[in-house]
Structure 1
Amino acid sequence: MQIRISWPAGHLTATLDETPTSQAIGKVLPLVSTANTWGEEVYFDTGVDVPREPDAQQVVEPGTVAFWTDGDALALPYGPTPISRGDECRLASPCNLLGRIDGDPGVLATVRSGDPIRVELAAD
């Protein structure tokens, strides 16, 4: 499944793997939320409540699309967070892994806390 995430200063697409969490996200699209930033991570509430999956991880590659089960939020890291060690992307707690951002995740640097953010299925 490919999704499009847009905010006032830009947009990106991401490819999601078939996981129980990505399927739950797919059922609520399109969704509109409010962006939050935490270091070089953008996250936002989805209203989706799912359990942590067995392969959840706390340290991920930049551009990973993750789901933070503690906050019912999509987490989009593109660089270090306040708890990172060095240049790693360390999430607040282990997150379900959903897929990858297509292209350069650094475009997320244009998201400001409080921006409206929209997630929808990408057009083919």
Structure 2
Amino acid sequence: MTLRIRISWPAGHTTATIDETPTSKALVGALPIVSTARTWGEEVYFDTLVSAALESDARQVVEPGTVAFWTEGDALALPYGPTPISRGDECRLASPCNLLGALDGDPRILATVRDGDPIRVELVSG
């Protein structure tokens, strides 16, 4: 079963397709989430108030547009380019994160998110 979520902020929005994992089930159960966006290099992350254990397929280096869950910060992490600890053009997260799915469109839209923006995550119905 896959689900779609909508992520919106003052300058735009995107949708993502989420796979069924223990973390995504916990996240979906907490929706809608309203949080404050933080930026770290070319990554947007924000608190979810959801806690999850690290899953066996957790990774630190991911593709742009990956929807990841940072277990150490109870946060969604949405990388779209290099972070301060990346080597070259890779998307390197702060630490290994659970993989939840991927953004549906061009992940570069996340460049319009500003640190401190209100951000909302909700389930896309239908």
TM-score using structure 1 length = 0.99
Distance in 1 of aligned mates of 2:109 and 2:48: 21
Consecutive aligned runs of 4 or more in structure 1 exceeding 2 Å deviation: none
In the alignment of these two chains, the number of paired residues is: 124
Q: Matched residues, percent identical?
A: 78
Amino acid in the other structure paired with 2:42: E
Gaps of 5+ in 1: none
1:63 matched residue in structure 2: 65
Q: 2:120 aligns with which of 80, 97, 118?
A: 118
> For 2:78 and 2:104, how far apart are their aligned partners in 1?
12
Query: Superposed, which structure 2 residues align to 1:37-116 within 5 Å?
Result: 37-116=39-118
**Following the alignment from structure 1 to structure 2, what is the Cα–Cα distance between the partners of residues 56 and 41?**
17
In structure 2, list runs of 5 or more residues that go unmatched. none
Query: In the alignment, which residue of structure 1 is the partner of 2:22?
Result: 20
